[in-house]
Structures are given as C-alpha cells and as structure tokens.
Structure 1
Amino acid sequence: MTNHTVTARRTPAAAAEGVGTEAAARVADVLLLFAAGPRYLGVSAISRELGISKAVVHRILRSLVSREMLATDEGVPGYRLGPAAVALGASALRRFDARAAAAPVLRRLRDETGETTTLSGLVGDERVYLDQFESRHEIKMTVDVGARFPLHAGSSGKVVLAFLPEDRREAVLALPRAALTDRTVTDEAALRAELAVIAAEGVAASVGERQADAGSVAAPLFGPDGEVYGSFSVCGPAYRFTPEAVERYRVLAREAAEEIRRSWSWLQDSVPGAE
C-alpha cells in the first residue's frame, strides 16, 4: 500500500481572510489599551505592550486618527481617545441594561425629592450624562445628555472616582485638575481626603463645584460584576440644597443605590467575579 501525505492548502481567499482578521485584532488591541490604560499613549509604549513593530503601530494610529477614533493634543506627546471613540462608548453605555434598571428608581427619586435626577456613565477618565428625569419646579436644573465632565468636579464625578479600582483612581488623580468654578476642589490632598469620606459613606454631596449656583447629591452605580459603572444624582438650584435637604437626599440616594444594585441579583451567578 502506498502512503500518501495530504497537505492542506490555503486558498488566496482564505489567506486574505486570515491576514484581515489579524489586522482587525491588532486595531482592536490598540483601542483596548486606551480604554484600560493611561489617557495618553505613544508609539513606543503601544509597540512594547502589544509586541508589534513601531511601523505597524504607526500605521494603525494614523488610520484611527483619520477616523477620529484617536486624536492628538498640541504640546502633549502621544495619542488619546478621539470623539468618535467617545461617541461609540457613550452609545454603548446608553444601551447598557443599567440604564433600564435605574430608570424607575430615578423617576421615583425625582418625585420624592422634587428635584431633577440624572444618570452618568463612566467613559475613560471622564463621565457622560446618559439620562435625566427633570424636576417639575419652574426653576430647576437640567443637564445636556451626552456632555462629558472630569471626575474631580462635582458629586456625580467624585463618587465614581472614590469607587474606582486603585490603579485607575491613581491614574485619574495624576491628571491636571481644572477649576470649573471657584468651588472646584483641585488640591490633591483635599480631594483625596474627601474621596476617603465618600468611599466610607457611599454618597457624595457638592454645591457649586461643577456649576455655579447648583447643588447635587450623588451615589455610585455598580454593575453586576461589582465594578462602578457610573453614578446617579439628585440636583437642583443651590438655594434649595439646605443642610437639611442634603441630609435627606443622602439617605434617599443610598437607598436608591442599594435598590438598583439588588436589581442585578439575577445576573450575579453568571458574571465572573460578581458577589
């Protein structure tokens, strides 16, 4: 009997498909580095992290910049996520089930407090307004859904920052902190002290820190894996945020946070790391 060796040959179409898949994977890997790493990344850092040549990295970055998935800032080395990537992330967050889970709770919280309630999602090292339930008061606070803000300014951002994993929190704290109003906390020591209190109490309050003459109380929004996903807030004109009102809203916000968290219980057994 004659033995024959059968050699599988890749057709040109199959070979092209393999190359295309590998290229797409590299592009995805580059974008994922920006999602999980520091705000700015350079060619050398990406090349070293992913084990691909600088020439390949440069081609990928150039392509992503042309599509506004990445961007550069004058005078700052490296690349950052661009507006198209942020819009894509915000769109995904809007479709995340947490929005549906939070909606009835935030609507009731609006009715209980008489003030506008908002939902924010974490996007990179910033937060984005995803939804709001407007106060029925003639004088009220409203937000621009889709607007982005730094995490150090105001209760909605600080409560997220307080519950981020340590490495991500440290990366955010290493960034420049702009004063959005004359009450924005920019001193690192003061901000760290406040974050420790927020983490212990599970809720944050601020008046005039992000927007002058506006007050808010916020609580973290956790996903089924226990990671902080964003935050929700009660917000309104500062003159209505008396110490008594703020204390009442803090209690209501904690209760609402726990209710939203419990709504994830049916998923916890299927999510790795969930508790």
Structure 2
Amino acid sequence: MVQSVQRAVQILRLLSAGGPRLGLAELADRVGIAKPTVHALLRTLEAEGLVAQDRQTGKYVLGPGVLTLGNAFLETHELRMRSLTWADLLAARANEAVWVAVLTGDHVLVVHHAFRPEGAVQILEVGASIPWHTCALGKAIVAFLPEQRQAELLAGPLPPLTGCSIADPDALNDQLEQVRSSGYAQEDQESTLGDAGIAAPVFDRSGLAGAIGVVGPVERLLADGQNQDLAVKVREVARQLSRELGAGRAPLARALA
C-alpha cells in the first residue's frame, strides 16, 4: 500500500466519524504521525476539496468534494441502480419503507431508500452506516458470506446499539444459521428502539451483492403473522432483483427458495 494515501484516508475517516471538529494536533495524535506530515496531507486534501478548515477555530471538517464522490458512487453502483424499481415495488406491496444495503467492513451501508408510500414525514437514510450484527440487512448478507469471513466478523467488535442488540457470537451464529435456512433475516429493535427490519440477500452474476429489506415500527413489522407475510414479499423481490442482476440458479435456489 502507498503510505501517504493510507494516511490521507485515515484523516478522512476521522473527520467523517461525526464527533467534534478536529485540529492539526488532534489529527496528528490520532493518526500517529508528525504534525508537519499531517499538515501537508491536509493542505493537499483541502486543495482537492475533500477537507475544509474553519478559519476561526482552525479545526477541519470534510469538504464538498466528498459529497461529489459519494454521489458518483451511488450513481454508478449497479445494485442501487437496478434496485430502484424493485424497492418501490416492495414498498408498495408491503406499505413500508425499503432499504437496500451493501457490506463495507463490519458495517452495512444503505445505498437506496424507498419511502413508505403512506407514511408521514420521513428522513432519507441513504449513506447510513450500521453495524452488521444489529440489523436484518447485515445478517442477511453475512449469513451467505464464506465461512472464514463470517468467522472474522463474529470474532470482531460487536458493539450493542440498544439493550436488544445481540453481541454474543454464538447467539449470532445461531441466527445466521436460521437465516440460511429461512432465506431471510429479522431484527427486533437491535439498532433503534421501536424499529424492526426484515431483509433477504441479493445476488448478482459474481455472487453475493447485498440485501434488500423493509424497515419500520416493530408493532407493524413483527405483529403476529405480519412478519411471515412481509418475509414472503421481501424474499420474492430479492429473488426477482437477483435475477435481473444476472444471478445463477444455484445461489437463488439455495438462499431464496
């Protein structure tokens, strides 16, 4: 790896963490390199529009260039582009909001959000990053990863987001087995109190692509019988989306039969 590029990425990640703005000394301390080196990296990133400096405090924040890159990622991401129509269809069938997500590291990244058709004011969640083990989307993806990658994720940090989050590797592994058996994953207030999710994996011509699922209040999604009806709808749309992405019959038969 190119060390200077790696350090620049570390700076961008620190600034994207959502905490207080960071100054030169704080960034140097967290990256673990000398202040002159960090200053040179910041000047380069600032010239490219990827960071900006508050002239009053001297602190740094992400720049507008990051948004341009993020939009370009979404506009060229095949799963997101192919999922637009299917997500709207699922939202209409389920009368719930629909998220499409991919796995990045140990988090899932929401790349598309279709609003609930008859909902009140809703907040667009595209770009939200959620620990994989706290949401149905993450469990739907991880359940169909290679065993070694699953083991790595189960052995990694499993921070709870709510009192309902499951942080025990053995319990999570049992859930992943259930997902492989049923073809869908379920979340019960594990990332946000009061909310639930039901999701299924999506495949493309190369293998696992991501997941699609419904999200909403736990009393609607997990009511007696309602979760099974929603699971059928989610799996069917996941199957149709996978076919459009060129998935072969083998993974579909194994995961979404």
Return the TM-score normalized by structure 1: 0.65
Residue matched to 2:216: 236
Residue matched to 1:64: 6
Residue matched to 1:127: 108
Pairing partner for 1:116 from 92, 97, 108: 97
Pairing partner for 2:228 from 226, 230, 247: 247
Q: Is the 8 A contact 2:155 2:169 kept in 1?
A: no
The whole-number CA distance in structure 2 between the counterparts of 1:140 and 1:153 is 25
Alignment of 1:41-80 (within 5 A): 60-67=2-9, 68=11
Unaligned runs of 5+ in 1: 1-29, 31-59, 78-82, 269-275
Which secondary structure does the structure 2 equivalent of 1:159 belong to? Answer: helix
Deviation at residue 208 of structure 1 after TM alignment: 0.4
Deviation at residue 207 of structure 1 after TM alignment: 1.7
Deviation at residue 103 of structure 1 after TM alignment: 1.4
Give, as a single letter, the amino acid of the residue that structure 2 aligns with 1:167.
Q
The whole-number CA distance in structure 2 between the counterparts of 1:91 and 1:248 is 36
Residue matched to 2:139: 158
Residue matched to 1:47: none
Alignment of 1:179-190 (within 5 A): 179-190=160-171
Which secondary structure does the structure 2 equivalent of 1:184 belong to? Answer: coil
Which secondary structure does the structure 2 equivalent of 1:243 belong to? Answer: coil
Q: Is the 8 A contact 1:89 1:123 kept in 2?
A: no
> What is the RMSD computed on CA atoms of the aligned residues?
3.0
Give, as a single letter, the amino acid of the residue that structure 2 aligns with 1:232.
I
The whole-number CA distance in structure 2 between the counterparts of 1:233 and 1:140 is 20
Pairing partner for 1:167 from 148, 164, 167: 148
Return the TM-score normalized by structure 2: 0.69
The whole-number CA distance in structure 2 between the counterparts of 1:198 and 1:186 is 17
Residue matched to 2:237: 256
Deviation at residue 239 of structure 1 after TM alignment: 1.5
The whole-number CA distance in structure 2 between the counterparts of 1:90 and 1:127 is 17
- Seen in structure 2, the aligned counterparts of structure 1 residues 76 and 168 have a Cα distance that, compared at 3 Å, is farther
The whole-number CA distance in structure 2 between the counterparts of 1:139 and 1:173 is 37
Unaligned runs of 5+ in 2: 15-26, 33-61, 249-257
State whether structure 2 residue 144 is matched by structure 1 residue 202.
no
Give, as a single letter, the amino acid of the residue that structure 1 aligns with 2:114.
F
Q: Is the 8 A contact 2:202 2:239 kept in 1?
A: no
The whole-number CA distance in structure 2 between the counterparts of 1:263 and 1:133 is 19
Which secondary structure does the structure 2 equivalent of 1:119 belong to? Answer: strand
Between the two proteins, the alignment pairs up a number of residues equal to: 202
Of structures 1 and 2, the larger Rg is shown by 1
Q: Is the 8 A contact 1:140 1:236 kept in 2?
A: no
Pairing partner for 2:174 from 180, 193, 210: 193
% same residue: 25
Deviation at residue 91 of structure 1 after TM alignment: 4.8
Give, as a single letter, the amino acid of the residue that structure 1 aligns with 2:127.
G
- Seen in structure 2, the aligned counterparts of structure 1 residues 70 and 210 have a Cα distance that, compared at 3 Å, is closer
- Seen in structure 2, the aligned counterparts of structure 1 residues 143 and 244 have a Cα distance that, compared at 3 Å, is farther
Q: Is the 8 A contact 1:116 1:142 kept in 2?
A: no
The whole-number CA distance in structure 2 between the counterparts of 1:237 and 1:165 is 32
